Structure 1
């Protein structure tokens, strides 16, 4: 069944984005996807529109978001590139405000810190390691969170453990205070992200989302 929602997607070539794009198309959504090198991109679909460019450019962000109803960002930080999280978020917020969009869903790691967290000792140790090893990247992701909290848009930040590439569905373990499991399957993640296009339960919240432990 055709879905009325048109999704602006950044990060469609990444681990999470590839599965999300396929599930969006399988479920009848229209997708406007940002691709930096469209000549090398092999995926085509009647409901898929490709926008060429980089989300670090505000003009490109405007082109991506115009005519859409919601935005999902699955972009990650590439090695030796300019810090992406806060710059992309800033451009997306500006574009969403320009075109009067409200729904934004963003992926990030479980090391992001949010008021009210009650992380386990193991997860606190992991967060401390990330801060010590990748201080600039962690700080940039935290800056993106702060930008969203000061905005008027209906954001959800999805905090994730390690992403496992698999079509297997195991069900979700969702918690606002701590990450309960060590993995999330790409298909479980895609299901959750798609559900957030219409679910209002996690607006202006940052849930930890993982797959249930495989028995």
Structure 2
């Protein structure tokens, strides 16, 4: 497949790019500063682009099979967390203009339920500093649900804790509820998150839905 990855220089984005290349796909990585990415590969190209501009999105994705969005607010510049809401709107419009239907979005875990009607981000232990991005990510999900009818979108929420680790190829799947182990922990490595994402790209199971994974 020909895949575009927005946010390709981020921690998760880099692992998605690597996993896609390992599976034989052709990848275009898009980032505000693509020079930050050190990987070189015959099936990898990089371009600077603005995921908040529908016209730029359309230009970058035209002729591709799948678009993956791994964008988030830049922590080093204290960017507004609501950029993920703007990105959702621009991606929907840009893909429509380009005639590309398949979109997989790296989302947030905060809006997953931990009990009926109780979201993770509403629990007392949820870090206050994470609430703005969690709220923005939840709003972005609603935009896909309300405005994404013309696209084959998938919103992929990680486990509560996602960090660099090992690629095991193992994970358990959920939909609207946080996936936990017998100890009540919800974790996934960035490497296995990328595995699960590419599994969904190659064999779609959650079109116009949200899903999540954890060990």
TM-score, structure 2 as length reference? 0.83
Aligned pair partner of 1:149 in 124, 129, 145: 145
Deviations 1:184-213 (A, max 9, x none): 112211111111113232111111211x2x
Deviations 1:145-184 (A, max 9, x none): 1211122211111111221212331611111232223211
Deviations 1:35-78 (A, max 9, x none): 21233432221111211122123332122211211111112222
Rounded to whole Å, the distance in 2 between the matches of 1:27 and 1:53 is 25
Greater CA drift, 15-24 or 168-177 = 168-177
1:75 aligns with 2:71: yes
Alignment correspondent of 2:84? 85
Aligned pair partner of 1:191 in 164, 182, 195: 195
3-state SS in 1 of match to 2:103: strand
3-state SS in 2 of match to 1:64: helix
Alignment correspondent of 2:167? 168
Alignment correspondent of 1:200? 204
Asked if the contact 1:51–1:63 (Cα under 8 Å) also holds between the matched residues in 2, the reply is no
Asked if the contact 1:31–1:47 (Cα under 8 Å) also holds between the matched residues in 2, the reply is yes
3-state SS in 2 of match to 1:75: coil
What is the number of residues matched between the two proteins?
A: 202
Runs of 4+ in 1 over 3 A off after TM superposition: 123-136
Q: Per the alignment, do residues 125 and 185 of structure 1 end up closer, same or farther by CA in structure 2, a change over 3 Å counting?
A: closer
User: CA shift at 1:139, angstroms?
Assistant: 3.0
Asked if the contact 1:38–1:50 (Cα under 8 Å) also holds between the matched residues in 2, the reply is yes
Rounded to whole Å, the distance in 2 between the matches of 1:99 and 1:195 is 24
Once the two structures are superposed, the pairs formed by residues 18-167 of structure 1 within 5 Å of their partners are 18-79=14-75, 80-82=78-80, 83-113=82-112, 117=113, 119-120=114-115, 124=119, 126-129=121-124, 130=126, 133-150=129-146, 151-152=148-149, 153-161=151-159, 162-167=161-166
User: CA shift at 1:124, angstroms?
Assistant: 4.2
Alignment correspondent of 2:183? none
Structure 1: gaps of 5 or more residues: none
Alignment correspondent of 1:9? 5
TM-score, structure 1 as length reference? 0.83
Structure 2: gaps of 5 or more residues: 181-185
